[in-house]
Chain A
Amino acid sequence: MTLEVHVDGNSLAGLFHDLFGREMTEEECCCDSCGTVSPLGAVLVYKGPADVIRCPACRNVLMVIVASANGLQVRFQSLRWMAFTGRAE
């Protein structure tokens, strides 16, 4: 059995750019379960048939991004908020 090893939000920078139209890895998001605020670059990403994005503190699922023939679907789960400050620009 291969243990699933996560990477982090840096690896989804291109996908975030596709979704939100700009660089997002410095923008922060807040976990609705534990209240931890993390830059998107620092969230945990479990790659598989879908990209499962988890809180780095409590590991609850923040978002799931599913790619299919119909394009991308983003499922928001334990995500309280996400900032769009544009400070990277």
Chain B
Amino acid sequence: MAGAAVQRRLTWLVAEVVDLIEETATVRTVVFEVPGWAGHLPGQHVDVRLTAEDGYRAQRSYSISAPEEGTRVEITVERVEDGEVSPFLVEDLLVGDRIELRGPIGGYFVWEPGRDGPVQLIGGGAGVAPLMAMVRARAAAGTAEPMALLYSARSESDIVYRAELDAIAKASDGIEVTYILTRSWPPGWDGFTKRVDREILEEVAIPPHLDPTVFVCGPTGFVETVASILVDSGHRPDRIRTERFGPTGEP
């Protein structure tokens, strides 16, 4: 891994909001300009810290959803009901606001273009965020390794990055995108319409004999279900990397 991205001491940086993208009714992408940002790898995240007027602090970890681009850092956040931090980020934050963040953080759930053979990405709900950094990095680099994204959402309107993902898939550059809708789907929808299961994974995921690296990210129940099916289907446990988002937004 690039030394510059991990060796520094973690220091809090001031990040200015430069863009806000309403992705779905509950998910927003926040784009920061972060002077002093040292760059990052797809899959890494940031710690975000909010300080109230009385000094009370709340801190959360968010995946970075786009590959390195200068001092620009973007995160995609789903509003968690009764959350301490996400409602502020999704509803109240304005362009021009400044908050504190530090990073990049993490080395386990990380991928770089050109690394180690085929890549299967499996995301549930807002868990697609770090996977999107990997998809975007692979699309930009144009490297040869096959990549497939399997993305489970509640309904069509809950699919984050839909237009961009469709365009990437259409470009036929070795990146495949498959959607699963679990709660409702439009008339004529020809994709999967149930919760992820062994049948879906064995039909569309890159098979074990090709020895893909598999990244699974989403709500805890989703991640553990998928990981256990993958192992039962013959994927090597040490090729499966997981990131659990907790109870939020079961896809």
Contacts and interface: CB of A to CB of B under 8 A. Distances in A.
B245 to A, nearest CB: 7
A89 B6 contact: yes
Contacts, number: 72
A10 B108 contact: yes
Contacts of A41: 106-109, 241, 243
Given A8-B244, A10-B243, A39-B108, A22 B6 contact: yes
A25 B220 contact: no
Contact of B244 (A6, A13, A21, A25): A6
A73 interface: no
Contacts of A13: 45, 61, 105-108
Contacts of A47: 246
Contacts of B102: 14
Contacts of B7: 22, 89
A14 B107 contact: no
B1 A10 contact: no
Interface string A18-58: 10011101100000000000011110000100000000000
A7 interface: yes
Interface in B1-49: 1, 3, 6-7, 9-10, 45, 47
A41 B242 CA distance: 8
B114 interface: no
A5 interface: yes
Given A5-B220, A5-B246, A6-B244, A14 B6 contact: no
12 contacts: A3-B247, A10-B45, A10-B61, A10-B108, A10-B109, A14-B10, A23-B105, A25-B106, A39-B108, A41-B108, A89-B3, A89-B6
Interface of B: 1, 3, 6-7, 9-10, 45, 47, 61, 102-103, 105-109, 220-221, 241-247
Lowest 8 A-B CB distances belong to which pairs? Answer: A41-B108, A25-B108, A5-B247, A88-B107, A14-B47, A13-B105, A23-B6, A13-B106
